[in-house]
A and B are shown apart, each in its own frame.
Chain A
Amino acid sequence: MATTRHFVTANRLDDGSAVYLGGARTWSASFAEAAVFDTSSSALEVAWAKTRESEVCGPYTFEAEIRQDGSMKLSSRERLRRDGGDAARARLGY
């Protein structure tokens, strides 16, 4: 049976790029370093992130579905956002 996990993300203040909240409350551009939260703790982390406005803006939480085989299903939006701006450009071939 699939389970749901929560992540906390935001945009970096200086260039607007996507970042993810890691375990030690540090921000990383890499989704691989994102910490996993449950519903209530992710909401608390978003509230904390809103106090870190010199680093990021627009923090929010999103869900991912963890399938039985361990693979993760993200929405199209979060998948594209995770892949980053450079990937968007490369994907489009220019």
Chain B
Amino acid sequence: MYQYDDYDRRIVFERAHQFRDQVARRIDGAITEEEFRPLRLQNGLYLQLHGYMLRIAIPYGLLASKQLRMLAHITRTYDRGYAHFTTRQNLQLNWPKLADVPAILEALASVEMHAIQTSGNCVRNITSDPFAGVATDEDVDPRPYCEILRQWSTFHPEFAHLPRKFKIAVTGSANDRAAIAVHDIGLRVKRNEAGELGFVFYVGGGQGRTPVLAEQLHPFVLERDLLGYTAAVLRVYNQLGRRDNIYKARIKILVKETGIAAFRSLVEAEFARIQEEGALALDEGEVARITKHFAPPAYDSVRATRDGLLLSKDRELARFVEGNVLAHRTPGYGIVQLSLKGADLPPGDASADQMDAVADLADRFSMGRIVVTHRQNLVLTDVRLDEMAALHSELIRLGLSSPNVGRLTDIVACPGLDYCDLANARSIPIAMQLQRAFASLDRVFDLGEVTLNISGCINACGHHHIGNIGILGIDKLGEEFYQITVGGNHTEDAAIGKILGRAFAFDEVVPAVERLLTAYASIRNGKEPFLATLRRVGAGPFKEAVYGALTA
């Protein structure tokens, strides 16, 4: 994985030291909250319902074991012993004290991490496929390009004050595991027929109050023009994006209002100017230097197979492999997903002890690397299949062996009104009630592949728009209510879910989901996935089941 050079190291330490001074000046009254607020937000420090929240960047979700150990140490020392992995592959601390944050940033800098640009109207953490580099269906490893974009966009002076935040995701596979359709820029890196590397550019996707799927902006931008074309998009957005209304400030609104064809013309004109300048063309040597950091490790020759494990007499292990272990591009290895979705901790939360333990497991079983997914799970990317039983035993001990990945109880949820200042309703208790209602693994496996996402407000941090079943918390006269959507999807076949009907009160949500899934089980064909059944029969039968005789 990428290692900081002297320049990288210097800028993150300098930023931490600067913030130490800024915090001291805020505490002693030398600067006002109005002056301090943009400074703290530039360092990922938010003020939430009950305390400060620090959002730590995990570029494209990739962590070295020593970084995860440091996150555990920080969580234990400066917080309350647990932290929250987010849908943008980041980590959030829920309870840091203001005076401790500079020390946290210095601790992060010591392991090549930071919280820079995890807030504000700038280019945020670049996200990617959690199976990058090991997926069997991958055409090109997207991580070097994520890293190039990360370095280019970090502290970029021209794009530090965009109309609104800007999110970029990159995938290197036809099977999209990075949800590129709901990003401001979504990139699909691949080779064309001539064997050249390049990017399909999608633009204007997003969730929030106005969910939109990205449109194709360019069918193939050559590798050397990655930064030039991205800069062209950002320049057009920076100049024309709306700054008068926060709800209309994202690039998706600009693309919709301009029309994709006219928007494309503007970008092409800007790109032509950038090409004339020539400064942003990617240098082959630089691409090679970055790519070298992501070279495949030396794999052993391993005879075990995934099919063999599926036939294991240890049925718990077989089910774990079926649910959570995917084929690896190197025979004898598997990609292991660790579910952070159980009855004991809210979705995406991990305790400091669990983080330490996973770091140890990564060293012992997976070449010291861990990846965070946008579905709030962790991945050990390089596990020998002949060591799977040993790993599984350790995961059972740690409470991380649930084989529910991709199934109903693999619930994605934002922190909601238990923590978040923006939320209208709680997300986590709904998720935990659903965990209890669907505690039977047999039932969860019978229901097959179905995603369920919960957001506590329309900002959609829980990605409810792209859950097969989405739950959205809303405020009705000061009380928590919840809308249910169906039909969303986060993959290459992306779709925005549609609202099923009237909203439910807090206690009505889980029974409504029960009715929805009971209806699904009764009308599906064989093992037909939820989304396929919905697309075949439409929302009518589901609406009928959920609302019965009530007027939806």
A residues adjacent to B (C-beta < 8 A): 11, 13-18, 53-54, 57-58, 73-77, 80-81, 84-85, 88-89, 91-94
Q: List, in ascending order, chain A residues with CB within 8 A of B418's CB.
A: 80, 88, 91-92
Report the Cα distance A14→B418, complex, angstroms.
20
Q: Provided the pairs A57-B33, A85-B51, A91-B418 are in contact, do residues A14 and B99 lie with their beta carbons within 8 angstroms?
A: yes
Asked if residues A17 and B50 are in contact (CB atoms below 8 Å), the reply is yes
Asked if residues A53 and B29 are in contact (CB atoms below 8 Å), the reply is yes
Q: Provided the pairs A76-B478, A77-B478, A80-B418 are in contact, do residues A16 and B99 lie with their beta carbons within 8 angstroms?
A: no
The answer to whether the Cβ of B136 comes within 8 Å of any Cβ in the partner chain is no
Q: List, in ascending order, chain A residues with CB within 8 A of B344's CB.
A: 93-94
Asked if residues B51 and A92 are in contact (CB atoms below 8 Å), the reply is no
CB nearest neighbor in A for B29? A54
Tell me which of B362-370, B421-429, B543-551 binds A.
Answer: B421-429
Asked if residues A92 and B478 are in contact (CB atoms below 8 Å), the reply is no
Q: List, in ascending order, chain B residues with CB within 8 A of A15's CB.
A: 51-52, 95, 97-98
The answer to whether the Cβ of B158 comes within 8 Å of any Cβ in the partner chain is no
Find A53's partner among B32, B432, B479 (CB 8 Å cutoff). Answer: B32
Report the Cα distance A73→B346, complex, angstroms.
28
Report the Cα distance A11→B53, complex, angstroms.
13
Q: Provided the pairs A53-B33, A94-B82 are in contact, do residues A18 and B429 lie with their beta carbons within 8 angstroms?
A: no
Q: List, in ascending order, chain B residues with CB within 8 A of A76's CB.
A: 417, 424-425, 475, 478-480
The answer to whether the Cβ of B281 comes within 8 Å of any Cβ in the partner chain is no
The answer to whether the Cβ of B64 comes within 8 Å of any Cβ in the partner chain is no
* B contact residues, range: 35 or more
Residues of B18-73 at the interface with A, using a CB-CB cut-off of 8 Å, are: 26-29, 32-33, 47-52
CB nearest neighbor in B for A86? B50
Asked if residues A58 and B47 are in contact (CB atoms below 8 Å), the reply is yes
Asked if residues A14 and B98 are in contact (CB atoms below 8 Å), the reply is yes
Q: List, in ascending order, chain A residues with CB within 8 A of B95's CB.
A: 15, 85
The answer to whether the Cβ of B542 comes within 8 Å of any Cβ in the partner chain is no
Chief secondary structure at chain B's binding surface: loop
Q: List, in ascending order, chain B residues with CB within 8 A of A54's CB.
A: 27-29
Asked if residues B33 and A88 are in contact (CB atoms below 8 Å), the reply is no
Q: List, in ascending order, chain B residues with CB within 8 A of A93's CB.
A: 344, 432
Report the Cα distance A80→B419, complex, angstroms.
9
Chain A CB count within 10 A is highest, among B33, B94, B419, for: B33
Find A11's partner among B47, B97, B479 (CB 8 Å cutoff). Answer: B47
Q: List, in ascending order, chain B residues with CB within 8 A of A74's CB.
A: 478
Q: List, in ascending order, chain B residues with CB within 8 A of A94's CB.
A: 82, 344-346, 349
For the complex formed, measure the closest distance between the CB of B76 and the CB atoms of chain A, giving whole angstroms.
15
Q: Provided the pairs A57-B33, A76-B479 are in contact, do residues A89 and B47 lie with their beta carbons within 8 angstroms?
A: no
For the complex formed, measure the closest distance between the CB of A66 and the CB atoms of chain B, giving whole angstroms.
14
The answer to whether the Cβ of B80 comes within 8 Å of any Cβ in the partner chain is yes
Q: Provided the pairs A85-B51, A88-B50, A94-B345 are in contact, do residues A77 and B417 lie with their beta carbons within 8 angstroms?
A: yes
CB nearest neighbor in A for B48? A16
Asked if residues B346 and A89 are in contact (CB atoms below 8 Å), the reply is no
Asked if residues B475 and A89 are in contact (CB atoms below 8 Å), the reply is no
Q: List, in ascending order, chain A residues with CB within 8 A of B51's CB.
A: 11, 15-17, 85
Residues of B404-432 at the interface with A, using a CB-CB cut-off of 8 Å, are: 417-419, 423-426, 428-429, 432
Report the Cα distance A81→B51, complex, angstroms.
10
Asked if residues A80 and B426 are in contact (CB atoms below 8 Å), the reply is yes
The 6 closest A-B CB pairs, nearest first, are A75-B478, A85-B50, A16-B51, A16-B52, A57-B33, A88-B418
Report the Cα distance A90→B248, complex, angstroms.
38
